Amino acid sequence: MLPIATYRLQLRNGVDFPRVIADLDAIARLGVSHVYLSPVFTATTGSTHGYDVTNPDEVDPALGGIEGLRALASEARARGLGLILDIVPNHTAFSLENPWLLDVLRHGQASRYASHFDIDWSAGPLVLPWLPRPVQALLAEGALQVAQDAVLGKVLEVGDLRLPLQGETEGPLEEVLARQSWQLADWQAGTDSITHRRFFNITELISMRVDQPEVFDDMHRLILDLVASGDVQGLRIDHVDGLRAPGAYLARLRDKVGPEVPIWVEKILVGEEPLPQWPVEGTTGYEHGRDIARVLTPPDGLSEVTKLWCEAVERSPDYASTLTAAKREILRHDLAAEVLRLVDLGRRALAQDPEYDPGPETLRQSVIGMLEGMPVYRTYFGEPHQSAAFAEEALAEMRAHVTATLRPPLTALRLIEAVAKAQTPEEAAFRDLFQQTSGAVLAKSAEDTALYRFLPYPAACEVGASPDAATLSGDAFAAASARLAPGAMVLTSTHDTKRSEDARMRLVACAHLPDAVQVLWRETCALPRVQEALAAGVRRDEVWALMHSLLAAWHPATEAPDLPDRVAAYLQKAIREAKEISVPGYPDERAEAPALALAHDLAAAWQADLPEAAAALIDRGEVLALVQVALKTLSRGVPDFYRGCEGASFCLTDPDNRAAVDPTGLMALEAAEDFAGRKYRLTRALLALRQGRIADLRGAGETRVERAGRGYTVRRLTEGGAICVEVRAGREPRVEEEPREIAA
Residues 204-225, mean pLDDT to the nearest whole number? 98
Residues 66-82, mean pLDDT to the nearest whole number? 98
pLDDT in tens, 629-681: 999 999 999 999 999 999 999 999 988 998 889 999 999 999 999 999 999 99
pLDDT in tens, 485-543: 999 999 999 999 999 999 999 999 999 999 999 999 999 999 999 999 999 999 999 99
Count other C-beta atoms under 10 Å from residue 584's C-beta: 13
pLDDT in tens, 304-319: 999 999 999 999 999 9
From the list 415, 416, 419, 441, the residue with the least C-alpha distance to 431 is 419
The answer to whether residue 470 scores a pLDDT higher than 50 is yes
**What does the pLDDT read at residue 742?**
42
Residues 280-295, mean pLDDT to the nearest whole number? 98
Q: How many helices (H) and strands (E) does the chain have?
A: 27, 22
Strand, helix or coil for residue 59: strand
Q: What is the C-alpha to C-alpha distance for residues 414 and 393, in angstroms, rounded to an integer?
A: 17
From the list 216, 195, 221, 217, the residue with the least C-alpha distance to 206 is 195
Contacts of 724 (CB under 8 A, 6+ apart): 713, 714, 715, 716, 735, 736, 737, 738
Local confidence band at 590 (pLDDT 50, 70, 90 cut-offs): very high
The answer to whether residue 741 scores a pLDDT higher than 70 is no
Contacts of 99 (CB under 8 A, 6+ apart): 54, 55
**What does the pLDDT read at residue 744?**
40
Mean pLDDT of the chain: 96
Contacts of 735 (CB under 8 A, 6+ apart): 682, 685, 686, 689, 723, 724, 725
Residues 618-623, mean pLDDT to the nearest whole number? 98
**What does the pLDDT read at residue 604?**
97
Give Cα separations from 142 to 136, 379, 398, 602 (angstroms).
10, 50, 52, 51
Strand, helix or coil for residue 496: coil
pTM of the model: 0.96
**What does the pLDDT read at residue 262?**
98
Q: What is the C-alpha to C-alpha distance for residues 157 and 173, in angstroms, rounded to an integer?
A: 11
* DSSP collapsed to 3 states, 390-449: HHHHHHHHHHHHHHHHCCCCHHHHHHHHHHHCCCCHHHHHHHHHHHHHHHHHHHHHHHHH
Burial of 345 from C-beta contacts in 10 A (0-12 / 13-18 / 19+): buried
Q: What is the C-alpha to C-alpha distance for residues 465 and 453, in angstroms, rounded to an integer?
A: 15
Give Cα separations from 526 to 114, 216, 230, 315, 513 (angstroms).
62, 60, 62, 21, 20
**What does the pLDDT read at residue 680?**
98
- Where residue 447 falls (left for φ over 0; alpha for ψ -120 to 50; beta otherwise) is alpha
Longest alpha-carbon distance in the chain: 89
pLDDT in tens, 359-387: 999 999 999 999 999 999 999 999 999 99
Q: Select the more confidently predicted residue: 742 or 600.
A: 600
Cis geometry, peptide bond prior to residue 655 (ω within 30 degrees of 0): yes
Strand, helix or coil for residue 708: strand
The answer to whether residue 88 scores a pLDDT higher than 90 is yes
Q: What is the C-alpha to C-alpha distance for residues 439 and 199, in angstroms, rounded to an integer?
A: 10
Q: Are 398 and 370 in contact (CB under 8 A)?
A: yes
Domain 99-205 in CATH: superfamily?
A: Maltooligosyl trehalose synthase, domain 2 (3.30.1590.10)
**What does the pLDDT read at residue 249?**
98
* Backbone φ and ψ of 481, nearest 5°: -65, -35
Q: Report domain extents, the chain.
A: 6-90+210-284, 99-205, 299-313+509-616, 319-453
- Where residue 506 falls (left for φ over 0; alpha for ψ -120 to 50; beta otherwise) is alpha
pLDDT in tens, 554-576: 999 999 999 999 999 999 999 99
Query: For residue 114, how many C-alpha atoms fall within 13 Å in the half-sphere facing its CB?
Result: 15
**What does the pLDDT read at residue 171?**
84
pLDDT in tens, 428-468: 999 999 999 999 999 999 999 999 999 999 999 999 999 99
**What does the pLDDT read at residue 122?**
95
The answer to whether residue 475 scores a pLDDT higher than 60 is yes
The answer to whether residue 133 scores a pLDDT higher than 60 is yes
Local confidence band at 582 (pLDDT 50, 70, 90 cut-offs): very high
From the list 663, 624, 628, 631, the residue with the least C-alpha distance to 647 is 663
Q: Are 627 and 675 in contact (CB under 8 A)?
A: no
The answer to whether residue 743 scores a pLDDT higher than 50 is no
Local confidence band at 1 (pLDDT 50, 70, 90 cut-offs): confident
Q: Which residues of 585-617 are buried (b: 16+ CB within 10 A; e: fewer)?
A: eeeeeeebebbbbbbebbbebbbeeebebbebb
Residues of the chain above pLDDT 70, percent: 99
Edge-to-edge strand order for the sheet containing 703-708?
A: 703-708, 711-716, 723-727, 734-737
Residues 55-81, mean pLDDT to the nearest whole number? 98
Strand, helix or coil for residue 201: coil
**What does the pLDDT read at residue 169?**
87
Strand, helix or coil for residue 493: coil
Strand, helix or coil for residue 244: coil
CATH fold of 6-90+210-284 reads TIM Barrel (3.20.20)
Strand, helix or coil for residue 41: strand
Q: Are 507 and 530 in contact (CB under 8 A)?
A: no
